């Protein structure tokens, strides 16, 4: 296993940062090299498939990083509300600390991958994994099995949407609003006999 400070890895990290801010298409290799400090010659050495391969790997890599967060949360003993707050804080920090320039690199892949099959697939797999992990996490903490997937999807979708709204409107209000509504939804979903979901 090569060290993390490898040029290849630095390029993936930089790619994620740049995809967050300007999207996939508008990110050139020159930008990635400047941001990562990676040597020019390593572009096609590490990514013989060119930009397409690079974009897919960045999205997949960002997807795995977030999946690990879900896994860690599932292994801990925090309750659903604490876990939700942790996730919301995570995204909030990304959006606010970048002065509303940064969003989710996987979302960028989803938006710009309409014509590029590989990119679209990479985003889809990342989102799929997140949904699966969240579903299990919810099911393990009191959400009825037949509602866990729906709630997981609501949580993921509304957070992704809130990031879009927050970035473009330059306010964290949407993220805070969604946080409050999701807390309510989790309450409702874990309440013994609840008629919701129909």
Q: Is 71 in the site for a second copy (CB under 8 A)?
A: no
What letter does residue 39 receive in the DSSP assignment?
A: -
Nearest in space to 67 (alpha carbons), one of 47, 53, 87: 87
Q: Is 187 in the site for a second copy (CB under 8 A)?
A: yes
Which range, of 2-10, 43-51, 75-83, 95-103, touches a second copy by CB under 8 A? 95-103
Q: Which residues contact 75 (CB under 8 A, 6 or more apart)?
A: none
Phi, psi of 43 (to 5 degrees): -60, -65
How many Cα atoms occupy the beta-carbon half-sphere of 33 within 13 Å? 12
CA–CA dist 155, 149 (Å, integer)? 10
- Quote the least distance from Cβ 51 to a second copy, whole Å: 12
Which range, of 64-72, 73-81, 138-146, 185-193, touches a second copy by CB under 8 A? 185-193
- Quote the least distance from Cβ 95 to DNA, whole Å: 24
- Quote the least distance from Cβ 75 to a second copy, whole Å: 25
Q: Is 131 in the site for a second copy (CB under 8 A)?
A: yes
Q: Which residues contact 170 (CB under 8 A, 6 or more apart)?
A: 100
Contact indicator for 134, 156 with CB cutoff of 8 Å: yes
Binding site for DNA (CB under 7 A): 7, 27-31, 39-46, 50-52
Binding site for a second copy (CB under 8 A): 20-26, 101-103, 106-115, 120-121, 123-124, 127-128, 131, 149-151, 153-154, 156-162, 164-165, 167-170, 173-174, 177-178, 180-185, 187-188, 195-198
């Amino acid at each position: 296993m090569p060290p993390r400070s490898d040029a290849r890895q630095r390029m993936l990290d930089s790619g994620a940062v740049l995809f967050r801010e300007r999207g996939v298409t508008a990110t050139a290799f020159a930008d990635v090299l400047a941001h990562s400090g990676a040597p020019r010659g390593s572009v096609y050495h590490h990514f013989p498939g060119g930009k397409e391969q690079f974009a897919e790997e960045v999205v997949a890599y960002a997807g795995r990083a977030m999946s690990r967060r879900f896994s860690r949360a599932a292994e801990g003993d925090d309750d659903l509300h604490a876990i939700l707050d942790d996730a919301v804080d995570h995204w909030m920090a990304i959006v606010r600390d970048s002065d509303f320039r940064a969003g989710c690199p996987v979302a960028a892949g989803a938006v710009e991958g309409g014509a590029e099959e590989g990119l679209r697939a990479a985003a889809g797999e990342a989102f799929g994994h997140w949904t699966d992990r969240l579903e299990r996490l919810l099911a393990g903490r009191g959400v009825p099995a037949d509602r866990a997937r729906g709630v997981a999807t609501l949580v993921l979708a509304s957070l992704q949407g809130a990031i879009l709204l927050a970035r473009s409107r330059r306010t964290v209000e949407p993220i805070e609003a969604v946080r409050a509504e999701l807390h309510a939804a989790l309450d409702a979903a874990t309440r013994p006999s609840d008629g919701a979901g129909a």
